[in-house]
Amino acid sequence: MSLAVLYCRARSGIDAPLVTIEVHLANGLPALNIVGLPELAVRESKDRVRGALLNSQFEFPARRITINLAPADLPKEGARFDLPIALGILAASGQIPTTALTASEFVGELALSGELRPIAGALPVALAAAAANRPLVLPAANANEAALVGGARIYAAATLLEICGHLTGQAPLPPYRASINARGVAAPPQPDLAEVRGQQHAKRALEIAAAGNHSLLLSGPPGSGKSMLASRLPGLLPQLSEREALESASVRSISNLGFNAASWRRRPFRAPHHTASGVALAGGGSSPRPGEISLAHNGVLFLDELPEFDRRALEVLREPLERGEITISRAGRQALFPARFQLIAAMNPCPCGHLGDGEQQSCRCTPEQVARYRNRISGPLLDRIDMHVEVPRLAPAALAVAGANGGDDSARVRTRVQRCRELQHQRSGTLNSCLQGEQLRRFCQLGAPEERLLLSAMERLGLSARAFHRIQRLARTIADLDGREAISCADLGEAIGYRQLDRRR
Ligand SMILES: Nc1ncnc2c1ncn2[C@@H]1O[C@H](COP(=O)(O)OP(=O)(O)O)[C@@H](O)[C@H]1O
Ligand SMILES: [Mg+2]
Ligand SMILES: [Zn+2]
């Protein structure tokens, strides 16, 4: 038999579509051709495969070898096809059996020595192979990650020879069992809200934001605790479900960061620096990789020093903030990455940071400087932030008092948040921040006095139509936290109070 067929998987967004690899040996001048739109990395694979075969004491067939990767229109990159290509050549030349090869899937990069090197994105491959109900054979260094998938059948090996021993039946590999069951790993502890003293107003805002998945902007002088508060938001959200955790881990798996076994259960918290480019935030590259907004999928994106970010870089946030995903187009190729994150941002009130910071230091910024600083945040982005909250600096005395005065700890707040989220899901199947159109009218209905209040606030504060709906959704969450079905004037009043930056514009 001079034809062998094997299955492998490509990378497309966080999906891993099937690739069929056909290896055909024909008589003629010795040559190796790979067809099916392979990119540079696949072409380099020729040399690695040749080296790996020879160094594993196999014969490299002196025939015309044609390798077809199908479907041809699927972009293929990376060295993950090395292993199935090498096995295909061995099978087509009769050095290992061809039977039952298509019962499994194979991925892995080969070193010239015949050792297997880990690939990026093993988790999405394992998810797809398990869904297709086929065992997956991959490099040992990827095994722990792949074994997270419930129902996955994983065979892991360190070298090409080990896999050949498995396929010939001379030395079958045992099904891989994780040494520590990574699936059972608990989320590592998060910093606790009780460590933040005072700041009751900001903590209340953080709880509302967590409950309804509302975006939040903290404004206050340096050292007032904005970063401290922001980093405690993930700990107020419910535990990740297994599906969510696998999704987020898949994004990491295909990113430059790679999978992290210790923290895959933890809600992502990403805090890109304000010098981050649009590509770093949104994702990109010639073979698109996810950016910070996708690494924050199912978690929190913290943008510290918001006005310092490049305006054009921030523009990329608008689409994912509405749709929960981002499409990246590069040179005719498209990749879709999930990006459902909760946004929290922080800023100083003025360029020097001390505006309104009375006692200690006074602000020397001119009103024009303050206005210019705030206008660096684009109106449409500010419009999409549900809550604006001032975080004043605590007096040194308040910080120094011994004993706990931090209020509820994260676990207690998380219980309330969870209850509130369940209520929202029962009512509308989604969180309040996502209510749109008809749902918004149905579930955020206002009585006559409430409507009058909101309309007059709109007029007085010059709020946009978008802000109007944001206030409605926010008031819905405030009522829900209190377990009330009807939205009251007090709920609306509190929600309107979170639009401070609109007011000043
Ligand atoms: N409310 C607070 N309770 C406890 N510590 C605080 C509080 N506010 C500030 N701190 C202390 O000040 C430090 C700086 O706070 P940080 O969150 O970085 O401020 P900001 O981000 O507003 O500049 C924190 O690491 C913490 O030690
Ligand atoms: Mg800070
Ligand atoms: Zn100032």
Name the closest-CA residue to atom 26, ligand 1. 225
Q: How high is the pLDDT of residue 101?
A: 92
Give yes or no for a contact between 293 and 282, defined as CB atoms under 8 angstroms apart: yes
Residue 427 Cβ contacting ligand 1 at under 6 Å: no
pLDDT above 80 (res 173): yes
Q: For the chain, what percent of residues have pLDDT higher than 90?
A: 65
Residue 441 CB burial class (10 angstroms; 0-12, 13-18, ≥19): exposed
Q: How high is the pLDDT of residue 359?
A: 59
Of the segments 63-77, 175-189, 337-351, which one has the largest average pLDDT value?
Answer: 337-351
Residue 187 pLDDT class (50, 70, 90 cuts): low
Q: How high is the pLDDT of residue 394?
A: 83
Give yes or no for a contact between 228 and 196, defined as CB atoms under 8 angstroms apart: yes
Work out the widest C-alpha separation in the chain, in whole angstroms: 89
Name the closest-CA residue to atom 8, ligand 1. 225
pLDDT above 90 (res 38): no
Give the chain's mean pLDDT.
Answer: 90
Residue 198 Cβ contacting ligand 1 at under 6 Å: yes
27-41, 154-168, 243-257, 460-474: range with lowest mean pLDDT: 27-41
Question: ∠ CA 137-143-147 to the nearest 5 degrees?
Answer: 95
pLDDT above 50 (res 281): yes
Q: How high is the pLDDT of residue 39?
A: 64
pLDDT above 70 (res 147): yes
Name the closest-CA residue to atom 1, ligand 1. 197
Residue 287 pLDDT class (50, 70, 90 cuts): confident
89-93, 138-142, 283-287, 355-359: range with lowest mean pLDDT: 355-359
What is the CA 101 to chain-centroid distance, rounded? 34
pLDDT above 90 (res 475): yes
216-225, 347-356, 460-469: range with lowest mean pLDDT: 460-469
Give yes or no for a contact between 232 and 216, defined as CB atoms under 8 angstroms apart: no
Give yes or no for a contact between 255 and 295, defined as CB atoms under 8 angstroms apart: yes
* 226 Cα–ligand 2 center, Å: 5
Q: How high is the pLDDT of residue 460?
A: 86
Can you state the percent helix, strand and coil of the chain, rounding each to 5? 40, 15, 40
Render pLDDT for 394-403 as a digit per residue (tens, 0 to 9).
877 777 665 5
Element (DSSP H or E) covering residue 325: strand 325-330
For the chain, domains (ranges, CATH) are: 3-182 (3.30.230.10), 195-395 (3.40.50.300), 435-505 (no CATH)
Of the listed ligands, the closest to the CA of 365 is: 3
Name the closest-CA residue to atom 17, ligand 1. 225
pLDDT above 80 (res 330): no
224, 308, 389: residue to mutate for ligand 1 pocket, most atoms within 8 A of CB:
224
Give yes or no for a contact between 127 and 47, defined as CB atoms under 8 angstroms apart: no
44-53, 194-203, 393-402, 421-430: range with lowest mean pLDDT: 393-402
Residue 228 Cβ contacting ligand 1 at under 6 Å: yes
Residue 380 pLDDT class (50, 70, 90 cuts): confident
* 272 Cα–ligand 3 center, Å: 25
Of the listed ligands, the closest to the CA of 271 is: 2
Residue 226 Cβ contacting ligand 1 at under 6 Å: yes
Q: How high is the pLDDT of residue 111?
A: 96
Residue 224 Cβ contacting ligand 1 at under 6 Å: yes
Residue 321 pLDDT class (50, 70, 90 cuts): confident
pLDDT above 60 (res 461): yes
Of the listed ligands, the closest to the CA of 353 is: 3
Q: Span 310-335, mean pLDDT? A: 85
What is the C-alpha separation between 41 and 411, in angstroms, rounded? 48
* 242 Cα–ligand 1 center, Å: 33
Q: How high is the pLDDT of residue 504?
A: 46
